């Protein structure tokens, strides 16, 4: 049986560890295996609300490239990797979407925890890597009519020098409480 001091230390460590992940307090509503086709129309019948995606990306070579996550076409959510940069598109074309770039987001070979969140009603999107908020933006229209259309998506397909190495966790109608801040200073 742990002493009261040992129990406090354990719970303190667990609390700190849980705060290092962007999605610690969210309830996962969907998950997809790597190299899965994502049936957008049936998996996400309501694409006008908030959404958060989280997964692990492993960079295995010097020139990673491809789209680890792509949902929909036209209005869509697409995360692309090119070298050390990550680019995120959420929403439609022109004023109905937002494009974010995180330069040097994945600077070397290794594992990276990626989280993407979008608030449809305000047109805001965020991109975190390993708990750090690296990119944020808002559409000109200040909302997304929808963040994706019915076209099926893909998770972890067609990557070069990189692979997705975890389930894609989806949190419908939820954004992290850290939506407007970085977890680390």
d(CA 185, CA 167): 28
Give the length of the chain: 185
Report the C-alpha gap between 106 and 163 in whole angstroms. Answer: 13
Q: Is the pLDDT of residue 183 over 80?
A: no
Residue 23 banded pLDDT, cuts 50, 70, 90: confident
Residue 144 has pLDDT above 90, yes or no: no
Burial class (CB in 10 A: 0-12, 13-18, 19+), 58: middle
**pLDDT higher for 143 or 88?**
88
pLDDT at 12: 52
Beta bridge pairs of residue 161: none
| pTM of the predicted protein model | 0.85
């Amino acid at each position: 049986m742990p002493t009261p001091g040992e129990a406090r230390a354990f719970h303190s460590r667990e609390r700190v560890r849980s705060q290092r992940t962007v999605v610690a307090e969210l309830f996962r509503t969907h998950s997809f295996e790597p190299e899965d086709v994502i049936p957008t129309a049936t998996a996400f019948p309501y694409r006008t609300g908030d959404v958060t995606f989280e997964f692990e990306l492993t960079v295995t070579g010097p020139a990673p490239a491809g789209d680890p996550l792509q949902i929909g076409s036209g209005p869509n959510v697409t995360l692309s990797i090119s070298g050390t940069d990550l680019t995120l598109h959420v929403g439609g074309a022109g004023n109905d979407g937002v494009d974010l770039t995180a330069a040097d987001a994945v600077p070397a070979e290794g594992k990276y925890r990626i989280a993407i969140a979008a608030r449809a009603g305000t047109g805001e999107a965020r991109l975190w890597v390993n708990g750090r908020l690296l990119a944020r933006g808002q559409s000109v229209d200040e909302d997304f009519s929808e963040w994706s259309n019915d076209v099926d998506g893909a998770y972890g397909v067609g990557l070069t020098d990189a692979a997705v190495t975890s389930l894609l966790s989806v949190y419908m109608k939820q954004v992290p409480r850290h939506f407007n801040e970085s977890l680390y200073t």
